A = this chain, B = another copy of it.
Amino acid sequence: MKLIEMTVKGFVDETASDSPAPGGGSVSALAGSLAAALGEMVIRLTTGKKAFKALDEGIQKEFEAKLPELEKQHKRLEELIDEDTQAFNAFMDALKLPKETDEQKVARKKAMSDATVVAMQVPLETAKVCLSVLNLLPIIAKYGNNNAASDAGVAALNARSGLEGAILNVKINLGGIDDAPLCEKTKAECDKMLAEGETLKTDILKTIYSKIE
């Protein structure tokens, strides 16, 4: 059964269980998906309003153009919830391969390293999509319906936590990959995304607090 077809309660309970999946990778993709969904909601609660229709037409168009982008990211992140757990399970399968003969040991080691590269790429994509969500939110925070300001703020918080959560999952996988240049490059990419995401989140929340406090 796909994780996204489980009930919310079922998903939380399955996370709490002693099986390692779903874990932080799937939860981070869900956080990102909810962030995109909240951004969509704020747009939908804004564009019909008088105050919005009084804005400069260019701003209106730019604001409305974020909706299909957020829908795309929300759907991709929903898929990544399951892909993360599938990639983890593939690693667990490699771990269970026989290790009696030298030949088996070599094959098992290669299968584990290959599965780790895949298991790393899923949260790496989750991190990238969460950062894209964060990049779409400043205009939503600024021109979104004031009554939904807290929703735009929660969107930024979840996109930011999805981003860093996914990066933690990338970094823990780097330890199992025997390719130093790939590891260095990926680590640098993650640190750059994290810094960019932190700046975006801080700016968005500054806008939100100026609206609600």
Contact = CB atoms under 8 A, between A and B. Distances in A.
Given A8-B4, A8-B8, A150-B172, A45 B20 contact: yes
A205 B132 CA distance: 23
Nearest to A71: B16
A16 B40 contact: yes
A7 to B, nearest CB: 5
Contacts of A87: none
A200 interface: no
A212 B175 contact: yes
Given A12-B37, A16-B41, A168 B24 contact: no
A154 interface: yes
A171 interface: yes
A171 B150 contact: yes
Interface string A17-39: 11010011101101101101110
Given A5-B7, A5-B8, A9-B5, A18 B44 contact: yes
B41 A17 contact: yes
Which range holds the interface residue count of chain A? 35 or more
A148 interface: yes
Interface in A121-161: 147-151, 153-155, 157-158, 160-161
A164 interface: yes
Contacts of A52: none
Nearest to A152: B24
Contact of A154 (B34, B38, B165): B165
A41 B13 contact: no
Interface in A39-90: 40-41, 44-45, 70-71, 74, 78, 81
